[in-house]
């Protein structure tokens, strides 16, 4: 196992439960890009955490619970939780692209927080964000991948199954499904509302990628906002 320790990296690793609060600041000024943050452990929880990996000429990299699609050299969390008062910034402040933020859980990922990986105000595209639970994902947060003078970035949601339902509310739009933050969810399906998807499309592209199936229920207006990418078993 290789854990990155390059300059500008803030690393928090716990062999068991990693409950974090407070502020981690690896932002940069001058002509630099933002730094790197890795919060890793078997169970990872962010409660009122403020992470800043912004940079003048490019956003940094933040990895919570693992790397892209659970691959790479860093250890993966089994269960990951991000509270609604947690904020992750990986913006480009002037020129350059927004950063890269991964929030991963092998079993469950319950995300209620806010992520911003905006492109620079002068130039640059929005960044890349993945919020995924290999078996189960709850997504009720916000992600801003906008770019004032560039292309918007991409948000990847990648659970076992995805169902998009009609209207403005769904099972995974609201509060915790139970009273235990790191409990397993046997359903393995992200049920998300049409409105939640369309709200996210305002500030970035949405990529829906399921291990098995993506199901879109009958929508009253037969429109799901802007075009989006659909990848899945059926």
Q: Are strands 61-64 and 154-157 parallel, antiparallel or unpaired?
A: unpaired
Q: Are 117 and 100 in contact (CB under 8 A)?
A: yes
Which helix (H) or strand (E) segment holds residue 200: the answer is: helix 194-201
Domain ranges of the chain: 9-158, 161-216
> What topology is assigned to 9-158 in CATH?
Pectate Lyase C-like (2.160.20)
**Confidence grade of residue 52 (pLDDT, cut at 50, 70, 90):** very high
- Give pLDDT, residue 83: 87
Which range, 34-43, 141-150, 210-219, has the best average confidence (pLDDT)? Answer: 141-150
pLDDT tens for residues 127-167?
999 999 988 888 888 999 999 999 999 999 988 888 888 76
- pTM (2 d.p.): 0.82
pLDDT of residue 135: 87
Residue 176 is predicted with a pLDDT of 40
Among candidate residues 84, 78, 85, the one with its CA nearest the CA of residue 108: 78
Average pLDDT, the chain: 80
Q: Give the number of other CB atoms < 10 A from CB of residue 53.
A: 29
The answer to whether 119 and 154 have CB atoms below 8 angstroms apart is no
Mean pLDDT within 203-214: 87
What CA dihedral angle connects 115, 117, 120 and 125, to 10 degrees? -140
Query: What average pLDDT does the segment 176-200 reach?
Result: 66
The answer to whether residue 118 scores a pLDDT higher than 90 is yes
pLDDT-derived band of residue 211, with 50, 70 and 90 as boundaries? confident
Res. 5 pLDDT band, cuts 50 70 90: very low
Q: Tokens 């089994």 label which residue?
A: 78
Higher per-residue pLDDT: 195 or 170: 195
């Amino acid at each position: 196992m290789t854990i990155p320790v390059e300059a500008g990296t803030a690393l928090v690793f716990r062999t068991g439960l990693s409950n974090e609060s407070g502020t981690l600041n690896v932002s940069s000024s001058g002509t630099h890009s933002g730094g790197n943050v890795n919060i890793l452990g078997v169970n990872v929880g962010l409660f009122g955490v403020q992470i800043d990996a912004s940079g003048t000429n490019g956003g940094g990299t933040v990895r919570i619970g693992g790397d892209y699609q659970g691959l790479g050299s860093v250890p993966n969390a089994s269960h990951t939780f991000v509270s609604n008062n947690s904020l992750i910034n990986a913006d480009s402040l002037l020129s350059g692209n927004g950063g890269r933020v991964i929030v991963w859980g092998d079993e469950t990922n319950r995300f209620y927080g806010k992520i911003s990986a905006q492109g620079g105000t002068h130039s640059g595209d929005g960044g890349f964000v993945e919020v995924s639970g290999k078996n189960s994902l709850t997504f009720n947060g916000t992600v801003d991948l906008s770019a004032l003078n560039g292309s918007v970035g991409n948000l990847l949601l990648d659970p076992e199954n995805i169902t998009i339902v009609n209207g403005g509310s769904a099972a995974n739009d609201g509060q915790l499904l139970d009273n235990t933050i790191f409990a397993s969810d046997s359903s393995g399906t992200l049920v998300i509302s049409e409105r939640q998807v369309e709200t996210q499309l305002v500030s970035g592209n949405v990529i829906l990628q399921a291990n098995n199936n993506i199901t879109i229920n009958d929508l009253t207006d037969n429109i799901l906002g802007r075009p989006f990418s659909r990848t899945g078993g059926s």
